[in-house]
Structure 1
Amino acid sequence: MSTPAQGSPAPDTPPAKLPRLVRAMGVIERAGNALPHPFWLFWLLSLVLAVISAIAAGFGVSVVSPGDGKTVVVRNLLSGDGLAMALSTMVENFATFPPMATIVVVIMGVAVAERSGFLTALMRLGLSRVPASWVVFAVAFAGTVAHVASAAAYVILVPLGGLAFRAVGRSPILGIVVAYTAIASGYDASPVPTPNDAIFAGITTAAARIIGPEVTVSPLSNWFFNIASSLLLAIVITLVTRFVLSKRPDLDPDPDADLTDLGDLVIDKRERSALRRALLVIVLALVALTLAVLPGSSPLRGEGGSLVDSPLLDGIAAVVAFLFGTAGIVYGARSGSITKAADVPKLMAEGVRQMAPVLVLFFAIAQFLAYFEWTHLGDVLAVRAAEVFRTSGLPIAVVFLLVLVVLTLVNIMVTSGTAMWSMAAPVLVPMLMLVDVSPETAQALFRIADSGSTAITPMSPYFVMALGFMQRYRKKAGIGTLASYTLPLAIAMTTAWTLLFFAWWLLGIPWGPGVPSR
């Protein structure tokens, strides 16, 4: 535990500007609470869409498709044809929703790795070996890697961040802030493919097919950008923590804080042995996969020996699930968390059950997107918006900034990335495609907006969870306390990430395997 800085105020002294921040956070929280659950939000949006389509169809609104030169007329969702379509395709819309099968497959593999204890043990071991001078960067970078565990990343890493900082004599409060902000404001940046990559790729694909019916966006479409983003964000967090947050006078825990139930970073011999075996299996599997794909005639390659358009990338979700699932099985068998073969499908089922709220949300989203496509309102909005941008003479960089600002503000209220991208993608992706911006570029831009403001909004359930961990060290900490810590980090991360996006785009660096940025 760190010792109080000389002359520092009592641990429960709030920062000077906290009351104003508390009021601002309270306004955001009340406004966000007034929004319906995302499931009902999409049904309400479908109703609004139906009314707008009826009005637009009544006025004969249409556009000429720049792709084939055909006239596209808005169709009335409230007409007989519209109602018949909505009823007859409801099951099909849900079953063929692009992210559906992919996310379930990935989650089954990741669930075995998480629930067997493999991911938690791996993070504990990694953080326990970090020198004091590297602890901030290590926890921050671990936050980006932890996204592979989806929402479980918060549960696993946030308390571990506090423990890692406390172990090297630094403020555990600061460790919780660093871990939480790295996960929340860097949620869509990870050097390892995550379930979110599969979800976003599916939604982007559905939106892009409004303009290009053959377009398919891979879960690895932003992978190179994600790797660079995770490293950059970890560096930014390290610098802001060192030069800004570490200067705060209120970093010490309460003198009577009970730290006995917070655990430790110790890995016993059995866990260490299990980790070695699991990591060895991952390495061997990757070597075997590499050897299998090296020959030009490999069945894992595409036409002409292509790796970009190939069965390997088409099945990347299955590869990710296999790697994590196998590592989890090996770890669990050695550590004792998996004692019989029947335990494995049980762990998979637990992971799928954890995803049940998302799958229910997918049902509403799938209907909304299908209705949006059927009415042709997406075509009209995209074409008209693209015409406005062309005639206005606005540089595309300015358009990017406008989109980023709007989506960042929306993210404060709608903290579900799946929900927000499902609402924005059907207009944003086709609109940018019509001004020669690829779907992958639009998705990379969205990643920044979906992540940056997450760490400061009390609308995120994980904000409240992180606050609970902080209150173990400092009982009087409140919403404003946590937000006052995360705000400098969130601003710096969003700014640096945006600059990286523009540098990446201007230099024409590929977003991912075979995905040019220009």
Structure 2
Amino acid sequence: MTATSARGTGGAAGTEPDRLPRVLRALAVVERLGNALPHPFWLFWILAAILGMTSAALSAAGVSVISPADGEEVVVENLLSGEGLAMAVETAIDNFAGFGPMGTIVAVIMGVAIAERTGFLSAAMKVSVSRVPVSWVVFAVAFAGTVSHVASAAAYIILVPLGGLAFRAVGKSPILGVVVAYTSIASGYDASPVPTPNDAIFAGITTEAAQIIDPSAYVSPVSNWFFNIASSLVLATVITLVTNLVLAKRPDLDADPDADLDDVASLELTPRDRSALRLAVLAGVVALAAVVAAVLPSSSPLRGEDGSLTESPFLGGIAAVVAVMFALVGTVYGVRSGSIAQAADVPRLMAEGVRQMAPVLVLFFAIAQFLQYFKWTRIGDVIAVNSANALETTGVPIWLVFLGILALLSLVNVLVTSGSAMWAMAAPVVVPMLMLLDVPAETTQALFRIADSGSTAITPMSPYFIMALGFLQRYRKDAGIGTLASYTLPLAVCMTIAWTCLFFAWWWLGIPLGPGAPVR
């Protein structure tokens, strides 16, 4: 899908005749390269084959390192040997069943599915973007974009059209509303102030990678929670400033004269839905108060040894708590609104949510095998130790290492838009390497969040980019890939810069990233 006119390329017609074609050419190159990549499922099997050949060569060469953990020699194992084949066959099922994010993500999705499919999340988003003053509507839509990640991919389907409707309802350009909603979700995808399914996935992969160096390592799904809360506020503020100071001044924000703009009423809730939302929120508040009351006493069984909260059953099972909370508010909303008519509807909605996750679970099978192969060959140990030694020897400052990793992963994210797939490839290398440089695994994960989000809003390789373009074309029929990219590029760049600055300020001040997760 390409633009066919000067207006369709995204700028004011005739104002930037040279720059806009260059933007389109660059996007076309990205699209061709991305389309040449196999599906992530096959990509991991291809990587496993490459890993096998690499391990065979390194093993034959006798490559080894001295483990900094116990001083023992670590030798690269040959994945293509008889032992490697036996390991691959014997552990295949256990690798999948024991894959860190597996149980957590399924449990969370079952709870979130009830909240989503009963209409609770949609109603909450409608209220959040329609009940604010005109001067705050940009911030409201942007912040709602970061919160909406609890709904995973459904966030795009729910909020992007609502953004256009909300802006139209207050007399602003619906085109700008679609852009703000889409960019806040895409380029702020890992900045939710509420724990999301992605947090569980990333924490599981990070834990697997950290155990290459420390077998007892554990990264909690809320290990970046404090940083995420601050990030969501900073990113929403940046979106608001760039939108009001830059994008709102563009001359091409008017919708087509024949565009269908009679759907503003869909922002409104029926009296029954409003009543259901109030009752669900009340139930959520009561449940949250009950959880706090249960955890607050130092003698609570939900606390750890000596009353510790950072290493406690509560934080260890936080994913289950989140799942139950979403299931509760969703069920209350569904019963009151009529979307749940009988008790059997609840497990049905949960099953629908898990069914929606089927493609991710299939991908998890390939990821789990690859991570086990990588760990068994000990190539990760060799790369991590040698890279850390090289960085220490050359005296490269840690901030420069951070910037290098951020830049590299941001470029990869343009082509590999699946966050779980990219982190599964990168984590086994960067997490152990930085751990040997005294950088906690949680900090490396926080850095990855920036890279995984920033460039997402500008890459046509994301299926949600094309989805957002479809919503945009409701108001501008001649809009193309260049149109949407020219709107999202200023936002994505400024968001990445601001988020990176926040990360370095967080690092410099030494603020914990989350409960029991020091930044350094």
TM-score, normalization: structure 2?
0.97
Q: Among residues 93, 96, 116, which one is paired with 1:94 in the alignment?
A: 96
**Aligned mates of 1:391, 1:500 — CA distance in 2:** 29
What residue in structure 2 maps to residue 217 of structure 1?
Answer: 219
What residue in structure 2 maps to residue 50 of structure 1?
Answer: 52
CA contact (8 A) 1:99 1:201 kept: yes
Aligned-pair CA distance for 1:393: 0.7
Q: How does 1:329-344 map to 2 (within 5 A)?
A: 329-344=331-346
Q: Cα distance 1:294–1:11, how it changes in 2: closer, same or farther (>3 A)? A: closer
Q: Among residues 124, 127, 131, which one is paired with 2:126 in the alignment?
A: 124
**Aligned mates of 1:162, 1:350 — CA distance in 2:** 28
What residue in structure 2 maps to residue 181 of structure 1?
Answer: 183
Q: Does residue 76 of the first structure (1) align with residue 84 of the second (2)?
A: no
What residue in structure 1 maps to residue 201 of structure 2?
Answer: 199
CA contact (8 A) 1:77 1:83 kept: yes
SS at match of 1:486: helix
Aligned length: 509
User: Residue by residue, what CA displacement relative to the aligned partner does 1:299-340 show, whole Å, maximum 9, x if unpaired?
Assistant: 100011100100100110000000000100000000001100
What residue in structure 2 maps to residue 347 of structure 1?
Answer: 349
**Aligned mates of 1:369, 1:259 — CA distance in 2:** 50
Q: Among residues 326, 329, 342, which one is paired with 1:327 in the alignment?
A: 329
What residue in structure 2 maps to residue 6 of structure 1?
Answer: none
User: Residue by residue, what CA displacement relative to the aligned partner does 1:171-226 show, whole Å, maximum 9, x if unpaired?
Assistant: 00000000000000000001100000000000000000000000000000000000
**Aligned mates of 1:12, 1:118 — CA distance in 2:** 40
What residue in structure 2 maps to residue 406 of structure 1?
Answer: 408
Please identify, of 18-27 and 409-418, the stretch whose mean Cα deviation from structure 2 is larger. Answer: 18-27
Aligned-pair CA distance for 1:130: 1.2
What residue in structure 2 maps to residue 503 of structure 1?
Answer: 505
**Aligned mates of 2:96, 2:518 — CA distance in 1:** 31
Aligned-pair CA distance for 1:127: 1.3
What residue in structure 1 maps to residue 471 of structure 2?
Answer: 469
What residue in structure 1 maps to residue 426 of structure 2?
Answer: 424
User: Residue by residue, what CA displacement relative to the aligned partner does 1:148-172 show, whole Å, maximum 9, x if unpaired?
Assistant: 1001000000000000000000000
What residue in structure 2 maps to residue 383 of structure 1?
Answer: 385
CA contact (8 A) 1:11 1:253 kept: no
Please identify, of 487-496 and 255-264, the stretch whose mean Cα deviation from structure 2 is larger. Answer: 255-264
SS at match of 1:42: helix
**Aligned mates of 2:371, 2:311 — CA distance in 1:** 26
What residue in structure 1 maps to residue 155 of structure 2?
Answer: 153
CA contact (8 A) 2:331 2:340 kept: yes
Q: Among residues 4, 26, 29, which one is paired with 1:27 in the alignment?
A: 29
CA contact (8 A) 2:130 2:267 kept: yes
User: Residue by residue, what CA displacement relative to the aligned partner does 1:238-259 show, whole Å, maximum 9, x if unpaired?
Assistant: 0000111011110000001123
**Aligned mates of 1:297, 1:20 — CA distance in 2:** 64
**Aligned mates of 1:13, 1:389 — CA distance in 2:** 49
Which amino acid in 2 is paired with 1:66?
A: P
**Aligned mates of 1:126, 1:14 — CA distance in 2:** 38
SS at match of 2:474: helix
SS at match of 1:72: strand
Cα-Cα RMSD: 1.2
Aligned-pair CA distance for 1:263: 5.5
5+ unaligned residues in a row in structure 1: which ranges? 1-9
Which amino acid in 1 is paired with 2:242?
A: V
Q: Does residue 106 of the first structure (1) align with residue 108 of the second (2)?
A: yes
Aligned-pair CA distance for 1:14: 7.6
User: Residue by residue, what CA displacement relative to the aligned partner does 1:62-119 show, whole Å, maximum 9, x if unpaired?
Assistant: 0000010000000000000000000110000000000000000000000000000000
Which amino acid in 1 is paired with 2:347?
A: P
Q: Among residues 349, 359, 363, which one is paired with 2:361 in the alignment?
A: 359
Aligned-pair CA distance for 1:392: 1.0
Q: Among residues 311, 314, 339, which one is paired with 1:312 in the alignment?
A: 314
CA contact (8 A) 2:169 2:264 kept: no
Which amino acid in 1 is paired with 2:243?
A: T
SS at match of 1:259: coil
SS at match of 1:89: helix
Q: Among residues 234, 239, 242, which one is paired with 2:241 in the alignment?
A: 239
**Percent of counterpart pairs with the same letter?**
72
CA contact (8 A) 2:156 2:464 kept: yes
CA contact (8 A) 1:11 1:254 kept: no
SS at match of 1:63: strand
What residue in structure 1 maps to residue 39 of structure 2?
Answer: 37
Aligned-pair CA distance for 1:24: 1.0
**Aligned mates of 1:392, 1:75 — CA distance in 2:** 29
5+ unaligned residues in a row in structure 2: which ranges? 1-9
Runs of 4+ in 1 over 6 A off after TM superposition: none
Which amino acid in 2 is paired with 1:352?
A: V
What residue in structure 1 maps to residue 61 of structure 2?
Answer: 59
What residue in structure 1 maps to residue 297 of structure 2?
Answer: 295
Aligned-pair CA distance for 1:262: 6.7
What residue in structure 1 maps to residue 456 of structure 2?
Answer: 454
What residue in structure 2 maps to residue 491 of structure 1?
Answer: 493
What residue in structure 2 maps to residue 392 of structure 1?
Answer: 394
What residue in structure 1 maps to residue 481 of structure 2?
Answer: 479
**Aligned mates of 2:131, 2:312 — CA distance in 1:** 39
What residue in structure 2 maps to residue 435 of structure 1?
Answer: 437
Which amino acid in 2 is paired with 1:477?
A: A
**Aligned mates of 1:93, 1:277 — CA distance in 2:** 43
CA contact (8 A) 1:254 1:474 kept: yes
